[in-house]
Structure 1
């Protein structure tokens, strides 16, 4: 197809459109692992994560190439059919997000098993439930990542609402939504299990991770 850009590295082949949206990922044969190869790495999370959905999704590393600007979409609070997803992936050794990456879309890493995760300061949108029920060995957050929480939705008769436990549904405008939350959905880390969380001293991480299970907190 025309107007596609192809990147290839040790992780595999990444196909993007001319705007930098990731259209397809093909894992390289040498990057594939058996699920049993990842047992020791993720033993801190018990054994219940080892299920059939992950059997063909275990890889050594996921290095997103420089030039990729967006993975998935954020046009709603739901995963769009056809969007690239790393749902149920097991990434044993390394995951790298490039400085070019600005958007991680809805449910992209749903229930993924990930080693150390660190976002670039260029990242501006983290979509709804993007790391829902993920298991992350170490998550490093910088002050550039705005604390985002809540669930935001719309219907035919009304604009946008936010529904935060204890507060109920409150109507907000689209401009307020984008200004405050940068996406059409929150709860990015709902039910995520994070063994070690590193945050700047004074960072209000609970606004982002109030529904996450955090093993150890390190402030830097």
Structure 2
């Protein structure tokens, strides 16, 4: 059993608070819920029937934070290849602590405290599964381009800071078998995701109303394939 000193515990708690505040600010962003409703597969999870309960708690109302369910919420971010619940806020928190002179302490935490190392490694896996190129078309979306950029910048910062405190040159450098497994599976499902996002764009644009049901079916069927290939949602 590894004892965590008071100083290290305080540092971990500060990291937690900083990270939570960043994540909380994202959930409070005015585009957070519209983004989930319109740019993700959230509303299609009930059709895919991959969970034991509906995709949101109250299907008769406009989406609210209290409506979100874990499977469809985390899964929707995974379908975007953004995996926000797995790391968002961590990069900002690590960067602030490093800027305030705690970089060496963070490095020591990773090397010497199993709990902290596990937390970082879990986020590292979520980052490895990201592929923001898939949704780069959102950069030209007048309504959501700024929100997409917030997500992307935190992804870049989280990746940068994790590599810095772990001393690695690539994510999951110490878990090559798992890393290769993720990358191989991602290559397999990427065509499905491209089809899925084409269908989502057609549904959002309303450009081809006669084939609305076809596009919905494409989204749902692609959900099955990606969920089965991904092993876990984040």
TM-score between both structures, scaled by the size of structure 2 = 0.28
Higher strand share: 1
Q: For the pair shown, which has the larger CA radius of gyration, 1 or 2?
A: 2
Q: Which structure is higher in RCO with an 8 Å CA cutoff and minimum separation 6?
A: 2
Higher helix share: 2
